[in-house]
Amino acid sequence: MHSEMNQGLIVPGKISIPFSYAAGRTASRFLVELRDNQRIMGVRCPECERVQAPPQRVCLHCFVETEDWVEVGPGGRLVAHTVIYGQKPHHPAVSPLIHGLISLDGADSNFVHLIQADRPEQLFEGVRVEAVFAEDRQGHILDIEYFRPV
């Protein structure tokens, strides 16, 4: 007797689950600034004065509320990057896609986003990168289409 008869046949499937959520006060302002003004905003902690971007309502180090908005970037330095081969349906770009960790000018936290480069040797620790904004912005993190070396 076939093992599928005893253990059950595995049938592959796919579920698509569209959803919406309320971004909240802090993320909403961040996303509206990207969409309407092509500005990357962070918040400065009143205690330690660290600037976090993307902004957090509460400082991750001091646990106090942050209200002091400051513009950061759009340039910065690449801290690290990784190249991802193999296309997956949830990937926001065509493979091979590159995720980068970016130290934006004026920020004390690192920012994760897509990187685009013509040649792999353009990407190394410390190289200057800058944000490239999408033409059609929706109030989404991908309103920054990618960062590129400059």
Which residues are at the interface with Zn ion (CB under 5 A)?
Answer: 45, 47-48, 59, 61-62
Question: What's the min distance (Å) between Cβ of 56 and Zn ion?
Answer: 10
Distances from the Cα of 116 to the Cα of 4, 82, 140, 146, 147, angstroms = 46, 12, 19, 6, 6
Q: How far is the CB of 62 from Zn ion (least distance, A)?
A: 3
Our CB check for Zn ion shows the closer of 26 and 123 to be 26
Residue 57 or 140: the one with the smaller Cβ distance to Zn ion is 57
Lookup: tokens for 107 = 């920020």
Residue number, 60 or 84, with CB nearest to Zn ion: 60
Least CB distance from residue 13 to Zn ion, whole Å? Answer: 46
- Token digits of residue 46: 């009143």
CA dist., res. 26 & res. 17, Å (int): 25
